[in-house]
Amino acid sequence: MTEQKSTGRNLGKIARRAFLVSAGVVGGGVALGLALSPNRLKIYQDDVAEGGETILNTWVKLTPDNKLTVIIPHSEMGQGVGTGLAQMLAEEMEADWEMVSIEQAPATDQYINSDLGRGYIVGEGARIPAFAYPMLDFAFLQIAKGLVGQITGGSTAIRLTGYYGMRRAGAAAREMLMRAAAEEWDAPVSELRAKDSVLYHDASNRSAPFGDFAVAAAKFKPNLKPVLKSPANYKIVGTPKERLDIPAKVTGEAKFGMDIIVPGMKYAAIAQAPVFGASAVSIKDPTNAAQQIVNLGNAVVVVDDSYWSASNALRQLEITWDGGNPTLTSDALRKLHNDHLGETHHEEVMDKAGDAASKLKSSETLSVEYAVPYLAHATMEPMNCTAHVHDGKCELWVGHQNPITARDETAAELGLTKSDVIVHNAYLGGGFGRRSETDNVIQAVRVAKEIGAPVKLIYSREQDMSNDFYRPAIVSRMRGLVEDGKISAMDHAYVYSDAGMPDSERPYAFQYEVANKRIARHPYESPIPVGPWRSVDFTQMGFFNESFMDELAHKAGADPLAFRLAHKSDPRHRAVLERLADEASWGRPKTPGAAQGVAIVDSFEAIVGQVAELTIEDNKRLRLHRLTSVIDVGQVINPSAAEAQIHSSVIFALSAVFFGEITVSKGEIVQQNFPDYDMIRLRNAPVQPVHFIDSDHPPGGLGEPGTPPVAPAVTNAIFAASGVRVRELPLARAGFRSA
């Protein structure tokens, strides 16, 4: 650990309507907006430049010796986001990749990720004239303050920030440098070219590095609609680059939240109410072990000079808790779900076509019920935050998926202005949606304010596991009718708690072409905290839809992969399935005696098809030999990082498929640590061939899309091997276990 000196919610819920309504009131009118809107790429903090660096635009810094720094408005939690974004910017800038480094953007309004919102709502804005871009960009900067911040989630970094923001920033910086060189050389800009961080004027045989023109170039306004390169000319994008964050992680220089040490810092161990909603009404310290005790109401914190001493003292306390619902159980939660499915007055119809109700009166209708459990995030780095409240300000050291939200909620908690809260965002030892919440941040802030010193609050693994914002448990009821080998009607009803699928994803509710369908969700308020989990609702819907497609294929007497093709006309979807059949040797397993299962899910602008290949041994011991993935993610930015993301998604999903389940007894979470919430180990992990389809589509997301098809691919293979339908996860519920 090294010492650092003190210097003083989620994208899924963003609706296009909210953006557009907000945009209508920004600037007080089009004419005024055009006149007053500043250039977005000229908004930055002067103090982010150091050591002779020149700021060219919001995201670009350049030194006299030609070193380029790309400022990244996303959090790094193992996905390599900084490297991919830097590739996109450096490509357009015509930079020498060997001279590129990355830096975390400050958690301030100047570095709010307005390009994410702009891309989400209007895309490239091809019909918006260049003169209107300042107003458009500035409007989105204002809107994004409350809706986007610096969120890392929803697989948005590459497909939105990169595609709509970093490319433009790189191209604008290149144009600025060329204008500066043109003035110095008294040559037309059209005669200049840039390559590997050097500018050339071939007619006069002159050349000079970017760094020579940085100061002069910074005086120009960045072009908000620069000419972008054709992908056919890419040299950096589409090539495997070593991740820029890895060397510091290997040497130990990289700072995670757990690594932070601030002068005078105390450590805090926390015991949160074991029953959700309960409060501490009595605290006794019979051994006088605690140096300081802070009662937060729903949690008790012990503060000491080390985490070891604080946690030991915490264990000696006798805490009396009162309130909450100590009778809550998993069975009661399941009954709650079933009861909500039985009520139709509050349902929300997500998609509807034809007359499914009439069709499904047939005696041949297939009716099934699926269920998935609550799941924890189980990040390798437990939740933590270091806070220091002093001199009318607050400083935070934390790894967070949206440091702007952490800043804003801290300011609200303390009654400070947002500018009085400084967030030092660290690397994240896993996020998956958990670190988009601010519970640990506010707890640390309250404790730091109480004791008047810097405090590092750390969750034990048990506190982490039992005080999560869990992926919601969902019960799903599906009905379908097959006539003449095709689905003629289907109906899907499922319970829903506010932690997943936004309105913009309604077209993804059922990804097959059916003339008569009705899909409705039944909202309810979960009695335990829920939140976004890697791939949000796609992970549940993928299991339901792809399992049901397999069941309907069986009822039709059809090959499962061919049955899917029969219900998809989209050429990209068909290409994924056809390539998958070839790469996975569909119908001809590579492992003798193995069975295969297939699934395909379109999420976050990426289409992922997977085939699981497995055998089942005695006593339902399941051996997963191979899981083949074929992906159309549009343009692949960094092939090696993209493959790693798919591998990661699959392992994450397999842990849930085999072992993942959070249960409740007497109002308390049963699972407390990894012995109760197991993970896939190397011996359980399958061989993972990954194949990307060459595509000229814009890049999609990759951090999450590899997760949803895994569960149905595996359970469909189990049916092919044994005739047993698994309709409820994890597999242990059906008696299956990993070999």
Q: Tens of pLDDT along 429-449? A: 999 999 999 999 999 999 999
**Distance separating alpha carbons of residues 517 and 552, to the nearest angstrom:** 14
What's residue 305's pLDDT? 98
What's residue 169's pLDDT? 98
What's residue 22's pLDDT? 45
What's residue 342's pLDDT? 85
Are 151 and 64 contained in the same domain? Answer: yes
What's residue 36's pLDDT? 62
- Determine contact, residues 182/208, Cβ cutoff 8 Å: no
The model's confidence at residue 237, banded by pLDDT at 50, 70 and 90, is very high
Give the mean pLDDT of 33-48.
Answer: 82
- Determine contact, residues 437/377, Cβ cutoff 8 Å: no
What CATH number should be reported for the domain holding residue 290? Answer: 3.30.365.10
Q: The tokens of 236 are what?
A: 């950096």
For residue 249, is pLDDT > 50?
yes
Is the Cα dihedral 385, 388, 394, 397 positive or negative?
A: negative
- Determine contact, residues 468/376, Cβ cutoff 8 Å: yes
75: left (phi over 0), alpha (psi -120 to 50) or beta: beta
What's residue 197's pLDDT? 98
What's residue 500's pLDDT? 58
For residue 634, is pLDDT > 70?
yes
In one-letter notation, the amino acid at residue 270 is I
Give the mean pLDDT of 417-427.
Answer: 98
What's residue 28's pLDDT? 43
The model's confidence at residue 19, banded by pLDDT at 50, 70 and 90, is very low
Q: Is residue 465 part of a domain?
A: no
Q: Which residue has the higher pLDDT, 534 or 342?
A: 534
Q: The tokens of 23 are what?
A: 């945009």
Q: Tens of pLDDT along 684-728? A: 999 999 999 999 999 999 999 999 999 999 999 999 999 999 999
Q: Quote the distance between the C-alpha of residue 351 and its chain's center.
A: 25
Q: Tens of pLDDT along 639-691? A: 999 999 999 999 999 999 999 999 999 999 999 999 999 999 999 999 999 99
Place of tokens 């059916």: 514
- Determine contact, residues 602/513, Cβ cutoff 8 Å: no
The model's confidence at residue 343, banded by pLDDT at 50, 70 and 90, is confident
Q: Which of 458, 485, 506 is the last residue of a domain?
A: 458
E strand intervals along 363-473:
366-372, 384-390, 393-398, 421-425, 455-458
Are 453 and 481 contained in the same domain? Answer: no
The model's confidence at residue 16, banded by pLDDT at 50, 70 and 90, is very low
For residue 150, is pLDDT > 80?
yes
Strand partners, 395: 388, 422
- Flag the least confident range among 122-126, 344-348, 350-354, 595-599: 122-126
Q: DSSP labels for 111-129?
A: G--HHHHHHHHHTT-TTS-
Q: The tokens of 483 are what?
A: 């006539």
What's residue 440's pLDDT? 98
Q: Is residue 246 part of a domain?
A: no
Q: Which of 208, 241, 274 is the last residue of a domain?
A: 241
554: left (phi over 0), alpha (psi -120 to 50) or beta: alpha
For residue 126, is pLDDT > 90?
no
- Flag the least confident range among 116-125, 467-476, 525-534: 116-125
Q: Which residue has the higher pLDDT, 36 or 219?
A: 219
Are 60 and 23 contained in the same domain? Answer: yes
Are 387 and 525 contained in the same domain? Answer: no
What's residue 345's pLDDT? 75
What's the Cα-to-Cα distance from 323 to each of 227, 273, 425, 429, 664, rounded to whole Å?
Answer: 62, 10, 36, 34, 16
What's residue 120's pLDDT? 72
- Determine contact, residues 374/533, Cβ cutoff 8 Å: no
Give the mean pLDDT of 259-271.
Answer: 98
For residue 37, is pLDDT > 80?
no
Q: Tens of pLDDT along 273-285? A: 999 999 999 999 9
Q: Tens of pLDDT along 545-574? A: 999 999 999 999 999 999 999 999 999 999
Q: Where are the alpha helices (DSSP H) in 268-424?
A: 307-316, 330-341, 356-359, 403-414
Q: Is residue 463 part of a domain?
A: no
Q: Which of 402, 432, 458 is the last residue of a domain?
A: 458
What's residue 363's pLDDT? 97
Q: The tokens of 488 are what?
A: 């003629």
Average pLDDT, the chain: 92
Query: By residue range, what is the domain housing residue 549?
Result: 342-375+470-738
The model's confidence at residue 30, banded by pLDDT at 50, 70 and 90, is very low
In one-letter notation, the amino acid at residue 568 is K
What's residue 127's pLDDT? 59
For residue 405, is pLDDT > 70?
yes
Q: DSSP labels for 254-312?
A: S-BGGGEE-TT-EEEEEEE-SBTTEEEEEEE-TT---SEEEE-SSEEEEEESSHHHHHH
Please give the share of the chain, as a percent, with pLDDT higher than 70. Answer: 92
Neighbours of 165 (CB within 10 A): 26
- Determine contact, residues 93/170, Cβ cutoff 8 Å: yes
**Distance separating alpha carbons of residues 372 and 621, to the nearest angstrom:** 21
The length of the chain is 739
Are 233 and 284 contained in the same domain? Answer: no
What's the Cα-to-Cα distance from 196 to each of 16, 248, 573, rounded to whole Å?
Answer: 39, 25, 38
Are 440 and 541 contained in the same domain? Answer: no
Are 548 and 405 contained in the same domain? Answer: no
What's residue 507's pLDDT? 60
For residue 14, is pLDDT > 80?
no
The model's confidence at residue 34, banded by pLDDT at 50, 70 and 90, is very low
Q: The tokens of 250 are what?
A: 């290997």
The model's confidence at residue 116, banded by pLDDT at 50, 70 and 90, is confident
What's residue 117's pLDDT? 77
Are 225 and 274 contained in the same domain? Answer: no
Are 119 and 155 contained in the same domain? Answer: yes
The model's confidence at residue 402, banded by pLDDT at 50, 70 and 90, is very high
Secondary structure of residue 447 in the 3-state scheme: helix
In one-letter notation, the amino acid at residue 360 is L
CB within 8 Å of 691: residues ≥ 6 apart:
579, 583, 628, 629, 630, 631
Q: Is residue 337 part of a domain?
A: no
- Determine contact, residues 459/378, Cβ cutoff 8 Å: no
- Determine contact, residues 698/532, Cβ cutoff 8 Å: no
Q: Is residue 92 part of a domain?
A: yes
Q: Which residue has the higher pLDDT, 340 or 195?
A: 195
What's residue 270's pLDDT? 98
What's residue 346's pLDDT? 83
Are 393 and 365 contained in the same domain? Answer: no
Are 505 and 583 contained in the same domain? Answer: yes
What's residue 7's pLDDT? 36
Structurally, the chain folds into a number of domains equal to 3
Q: Is residue 209 part of a domain?
A: yes
Q: Is residue 566 part of a domain?
A: yes
Residue of 662, 666, 668, 664 lying closest to 276 (CA atoms)? 668
The model's confidence at residue 125, banded by pLDDT at 50, 70 and 90, is low
Are 169 and 306 contained in the same domain? Answer: no
What's residue 224's pLDDT? 93
Give the mean pLDDT of 62-86.
Answer: 97
Q: Is residue 252 part of a domain?
A: no
For residue 505, is pLDDT > 60?
no
Please give the share of the chain, as a percent, with pLDDT higher than 90. Answer: 85
Secondary structure of residue 517 in the 3-state scheme: strand
What's residue 2's pLDDT? 37
